[in-house]
Each structure stands twice: as C-alpha cells, then as structure tokens.
C-alpha cells in the first residue's frame, strides 16, 4: 500500500492518512521513514498507542534515549511524560532542537497527545534545511566554518527546576554529567546530505570563534531567521495525534498559552549520532 500523504508546506510537514501505527507492517514502516526524510515532521491522527507500542514504534528508527531530567511512564523508561500539572514546561516555549546539550543529539522523536487543553497548546516546527538554504551565500560560507556551544542550563535553570535541597543536588549532578558541548553551526544531514542550520535559543549559548558581542548578535539574527514563518508550521493537537520529527534538521516550540488547563504528552526519543559538517563534493 502506498501512503496517503498530504503536504502541509513545501518547506516542512505532512499528514499521513489511513495508517494505524499499531498494526503498520514493515513496508509501511519503510515508507514512513522515507516520508520523514522528505518532510522533516509527519503527523498521524486518531492513533491510540499504549506506551510500550509507542516505544516499539520509535525503536524502528533506532535505539531509545533516557532523558536526564523529565519523568517517565512506569515500567517504560523510554517514554517521558510531559504533564503540565506536574512540570514547569515553560522551557518548551523556547525554540529548540531536542537534547543538543549531548555529544550525540537525538535522531528524532515520537510524540503522542494524551490529554489536550480545549484551547491552546499548539506546537510549532521549523526546518533548519530551508532556513540555511534561504541565507545569502556569503553568510552561508561564513557559518560553515563556525562551531557553537550548547548548554543544558540554558533551558533548565536551577531556580526553576530545583525547589528544595534534594532537587538542587540532583540537578547539579545532572549538570556535571552533561557539561557544555560543541557542535558545528551548520551540520550535514547524515542521510540526505543537506546542510542544516543547527543553532537554537533553547540550548545554543555562543559561537566559539567570535567575540562575545558578535556571537550574541549573530545568534540573535540566526534564531529569528531560523524560525521565520516561511520555514515553520503550527500543529493544533487532538487527543490521539502522533507526531514524528527528524531532530537533525528541525527545531520546535510548544506554546504555553492554555493557563491552568491540563496537557499531557508522551514522548519517545531516538538516539542519534555526533553532528558533523561535510562540504558538498
């Protein structure tokens, strides 16, 4: 069966219709993986994946990551629970590529909507490939020779995530296990070969080859450029929706605009590789 794919934008996003992810066969799974490469983020409506099934779906893309901070589903440590009534999720309002504070940021993620507010709580995704392609050639050339520092503390400040001495000690230990790392400002997609703008306000703190002022100015420009409306989409969730995105070439943000309403999401995170830049031959 050929997938029924509805493109959302030429630059990013597609909805895949008429697929039950609980029963997808190997041929369908291969088409889903190709659709992800083509569209960067793909969506499925009306799915009801149990945590084990969601983990198994994600495992089809690779081994799974255990998040150092967020809690997980009981007996399924690979599925983190993003519960607005239990966690401070304001960090997710920053545009970010997941877990770039690690040497090997994730390949991608599988996110399922469990409980959705009646209004608000949308998520936006942006294409780093489209953003890089739209830069002028001189800036592209400059960026290809630069590296940037990514720091977990940018999105997980201790004053918001540690409410007592025990939590403070645990968070400080997490910071020690996850020191700042360096990645190329432009990475090469390991499958498609596309150059990707690979900085985000969620974790990128400076460009290492520039002085502090120039670094800050360039990062602010790149953060704004990368999330321009022409490169991003906005998804309005329904309970049972599943999103799969390629974390190597996208960034995203979740809107915290639903007040005290309840929002629960389950996420599986797929392990990735060390980012690299390779000039096109």
Which amino acids are annotated catalytic? 96, 98, 252, 267
The CA distance from 238 to 252, in Å, is 18
The token pair at 254 is: 């979740």
CB 63 within 8 A of CB 268: no
User: Which residues are CB-contacts of 271 (< 8 A; sequence separation ≥ 6)?
Assistant: 62, 63, 64, 65, 104, 106, 107
């Amino acid at each position: 069966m050929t997938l029924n794919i509805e493109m959302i934008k030429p630059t990013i996003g597609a909805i895949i219709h008429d697929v039950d992810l609980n029963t997808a066969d190997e041929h369908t799974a291969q088409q889903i993986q190709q659709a992800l490469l083509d569209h960067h983020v793909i969506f499925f409506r009306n799915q009801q994946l149990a945590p084990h099934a969601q983990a198994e779906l994600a495992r089809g893309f690779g081994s799974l990551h255990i998040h150092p901070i967020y809690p997980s589903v009981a007996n399924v440590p690979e599925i983190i629970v993003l519960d607005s009534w239990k966690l401070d999720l304001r960090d997710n309002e920053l545009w970010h590529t997941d877990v770039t504070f690690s040497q090997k940021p994730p390949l991608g993620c599988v996110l399922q909507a469990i409980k959705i507010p009646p209004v608000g709580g949308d998520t936006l995704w942006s294409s780093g490939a489209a953003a890089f392609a739209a830069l002028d050639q001189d800036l592209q050339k400059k960026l290809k020779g630069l590296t940037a520092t990514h720091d977990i503390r940018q999105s997980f400040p201790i004053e918001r995530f540690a409410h007592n001495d025990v939590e403070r000690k645990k968070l400080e230990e997490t910071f020690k296990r996850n020191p700042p790392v360096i990645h190329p400002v432009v990475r090469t997609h390991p499958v498609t070969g596309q150059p990707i703008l690979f900085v985000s306000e969620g974790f990128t703190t400076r460009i290492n080859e520039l002085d502090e002022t120039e670094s800050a100015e360039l990062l602010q420009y790149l953060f704004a450029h990368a999330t321009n409306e022409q490169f991003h989409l906005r998804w309005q969730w329904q309970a049972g929706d599943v999103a799969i995105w390629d974390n190597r070439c996208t960034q995203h943000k979740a809107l915290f605009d639903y007040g005290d309403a309840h929002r629960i999401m389950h996420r599986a995170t797929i392990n990735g590789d060390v980012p690299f830049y390779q000039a096109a031959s």
